[in-house]
Structure 1
């Protein structure tokens, strides 16, 4: 029976980097995939100036990515992009004058009331009879304030809606570090990208509960990433996403062929291989109405 998975992300392109393979897999299996995005990413590094033009461009890229992945519905919450503060930028080895300042907008997602934002997300979960919601890990992956806010808001929204499964989309930093150090031998990463920063980002392998093999959907994931053209360059030149798109097929599948999640109700180190592995059959039995379109 078809189920519904809702993926909650902070900015356009986050879905491509962290969960695109899982989204494409679930859509191919006949499940309904819904994507909620908190902001338009109008303060990200790009060749376009911050503001409406960048927001419009990135929104268009988001819809193109969603189409490639088979997403049935995209929900834009319309909060302002909080950006990265200069301290965070320095910690990641980025020139603090690279284009992201501390003057966040008045409607910045990081400043949103958690209960109000959670009610908005929960409304979508209820409309969709969602079986699953993905958020980020408590640290927001690499620490972006909007990612941390997704964790807070999404956790509360799942509680309000009674969503059966809550997964934290993350990265197993152990193989990631090995793969990135290998890639560093062949590619020159942009200034924003410090491989050493991944020594404290995302999640160690021992806490991962879900390892989803998405190698069959690597082409869809690459196409999703490629849709975000504004994020392939900007600042000092080539961006991380642009470099990743240049990886040859075998290296790309090595780095991006698995997607990782943590479900806190499970013992650390559990070996689940599918997002719906723990969903009881009765949760999607007769009487659950699925929206169409």
Structure 2
């Protein structure tokens, strides 16, 4: 059995991006560890915060609940501040993940990998899927940690399949399910000026999330305080399966060609 360490930028990113892969790995007997780079302190402020409770307190509790839903064996916090979206003043805050030393963050993560004797580390593609500064930083940190860890881990990058997104949107438009004024285009510039995700030809692994969609929905429900999670949870089952029924990974250095199946057998 393998130990797989997932580095995510914020609490709730694991739920929307890799939760099915995590649940399937745990079900197969692998040890799953989830590391959060930031505390998610610039997330939605819940209206029901208790006296003395902070946004960080709530988001940490939600992350633990998500871990239960996914069979995650350990949750670790690197302790950086959320950097906000591209261009926000928080990008340059001295405690932000975006502004931190890549070597420093990688050293913190390397300690986790060494403690776990990790076989696999999972981060994001080169532009973090859609250009969020913290997501881009995750990419840099996991590539650096692959060089620093005592046992050189296998490296995977979670991504979005741009061609799949385009096909889904075109099908929804043809079926009259997309709003008439919808002008979303996965090939258009995202937060950092690059298109969303990765072309299908550059992706190596496709994971069918449908067998564990209930766990994926449960992980998202654990983060219900966050506004952007609300619209995901509001999807009917069929629409939810179409939107979140697939997870995609790049394996740097692997020969071209996509394989259907879990990247950690």
1:174 equivalent in alignment to 2:172: no
| Mapped partners of 1:47, 1:246: distance in 2 | 18
**Structure 2 counterpart of 1:25:** 24
Q: What is the Cα deviation at residue 276 of structure 1? A: 2.0
| Mapped partners of 2:184, 2:58: distance in 1 | 29
Give structure 1 stretches of 5+ with no counterpart: 87-100, 234-238, 278-293
1:205 equivalent in alignment to 2:193: no
1:224 equivalent in alignment to 2:219: yes
Q: Deviations over 1:22-49 (max 9, x none)?
A: 0000111111000000111111344569
| Mapped partners of 1:261, 1:205: distance in 2 | 10
Decide whether the 8 Å contact of 2:204 with 2:257 is kept in 1.
Answer: yes
TM-score (norm 1): 0.78
Q: What is the Cα deviation at residue 269 of structure 1? A: 2.3
Change (3 A) 1:197 1:213: closer
| Mapped partners of 1:269, 1:48: distance in 2 | 47
Decide whether the 8 Å contact of 2:169 with 2:178 is kept in 1.
Answer: no
1:37 equivalent in alignment to 2:36: yes
1:256 equivalent in alignment to 2:256: no
1:15 equivalent in alignment to 2:10: no
Q: Which of the numbers 125, 133, 136 marks the counterpart of 2:124? A: 136
| Mapped partners of 1:159, 1:272: distance in 2 | 28
Q: Deviations over 1:102-143 (max 9, x none)?
A: 245320001111111111111111111111110000111110
Q: Deviations over 1:231-273 (max 9, x none)?
A: 1x2xxxxx3x222212222222222122100001112223252
**Structure 2 counterpart of 1:73:** 74
1:111 equivalent in alignment to 2:99: yes
Change (3 A) 1:55 1:30: same
Across the aligned residues of Structure 1 and Structure 2, the Cα RMSD in angstroms comes to: 2.2
| Mapped partners of 2:231, 2:34: distance in 1 | 25
**Structure 2 counterpart of 1:274:** 262
Q: What is the Cα deviation at residue 183 of structure 1? A: 5.4
Change (3 A) 1:265 1:157: same
DSSP 3-state at the match of 1:195: coil
Q: What is the Cα deviation at residue 15 of structure 1? A: 0.2
TM-score (norm 2): 0.86
**Structure 1 counterpart of 2:185:** 196
**Structure 2 counterpart of 1:58:** 59
Change (3 A) 1:256 1:245: same
1:165 equivalent in alignment to 2:154: yes
| Mapped partners of 1:198, 1:245: distance in 2 | 26
**Structure 2 counterpart of 1:102:** 89
